[in-house]
Structure 1
């Protein structure tokens, strides 16, 4: 089982374009406990930049990101709430 499959929450944003994937991630991560992880699937290339900035700005950890056959996979751990 991959680290993406072991995430606490799965979020599929494939087929959606900016800003929808970030908005969906923001809404989902608000419902999670600190330390939980979320695996996100996306097809919009801008998510690579957007999710990195999202994590940096809000204090979450971008554990892993990769592109496989035109799909982007992200593993994000919720950080401490500020």
Structure 2
């Protein structure tokens, strides 16, 4: 994905190499550091995150702005409610 298309983000969480449930657990903790309205970019390599992170966002009412996959790397832009 061209960088110009990706939403601007203020925070980043790299969970590369970690597997379920660690990426979601770290995401939950990282969101405590993010202010409402800010965007967090999550980078993951676990294919389970394609299911887990959208469900996490829906359950906790966080806005998933964009979900992208490129070369087995998954990226999620989440805007904190």
- Per the TM superposition, whether the score is higher than 0.5 is yes
Structure 1 runs (4+) greater than 4 angstroms displaced: none
CA RMSD after TM alignment: 1.1
Q: Number of matched residues?
A: 78
1:49 and 1:30 map into 2 onto residues whose CA distance is 22
Unpaired runs of 5+ residues, structure 1, are none
1:30 and 1:56 map into 2 onto residues whose CA distance is 17
In the TM superposition, what are the counterparts of 1:57-76 in structure 2 within 5 Å?
57-76=59-78
TM-score by length of 1: 0.89
Unpaired runs of 5+ residues, structure 2, are none
Look up the match of 1:20.
22
Quote the offset at 1:56 in angstroms: 0.3
